[in-house]
Amino acid sequence: MQIGELARQTGCEVETIRYYEREGLLPAPARSASGYRRYEPQHVEQLNFIRHCRSLGMSLADIRQLADYHRHPAPEPCDRVNALIDDQIRRVHSQIEALQQLERQLLALRGRCHSPHTLADCGILKTLEDASSGEPCVCHPPATGKKIAG
């Protein structure tokens, strides 16, 4: 099959398929006499494997490692696979904490404007303006000791 058919079967964009090939995640297909890529059923399986891992938020490096374990199974315990997933779980927990902190910051900012005002009197815009001048703000209180990134 050609790349368009592979894209249709897997729901993956053509450019993403080419990217995965360049990154070595998807094996390079054979070429037809006219130079077109010719994909086989194993490309569909491998691309679905990659997409499933991506849907779990895994990095390309982790996917590469898992794909390598999958292609070359060793007669040893799967401790390395478990460790890789445990690391991903830790990253997800960290992201959850960061998103919860962001939510608290946005709620504090939203609390600066409770009723309809003109833009000139908007508490949110005033808070953002003050913060841009170095003033303390409700969304980044000085007690945390954190500086605004950016």
Each residue's pLDDT tens digit, 85-98: 999 999 999 999 99
Tens-place pLDDT, residues 51-85: 999 999 999 999 999 999 888 887 888 899 999 99
Same domain, 9 and 67: yes
The answer to whether 127 and 113 have CB atoms below 8 angstroms apart is no
pLDDT bracket for residue 150 (50, 70, 90): very low
Q: Range of 29's domain?
A: 3-71
Residue 150 lies in a domain: no
Structure tokens at 27: 């094996």
Residue with token string 């491998």: 46
* Residue 2 neighbours by CB under 8 Å, 6+ apart: 36, 37, 38, 39
Q: How far does Cα 53 stand from its chain's mean position?
A: 11
- What's the predicted TM-score (pTM) here? 0.75
What would the pLDDT profile of 39-50 be if each residue is shown by its tens digit?
A: 999 999 999 999
In a domain, residue 21? The reply is yes
- Calculate the alpha carbon distances from 123 to 101, 109, 110, 131, 148 in Å: 21, 8, 8, 12, 19
DSSP-derived secondary structure letter, 39: -
User: Both 7 and 38 in a single domain?
Assistant: yes
Give the range among 18-27, 38-47, 106-115 with minimum mean pLDDT: 106-115
Residues 48 and 87 in one domain: no
CA–CA dist 81, 66 (Å, integer): 7
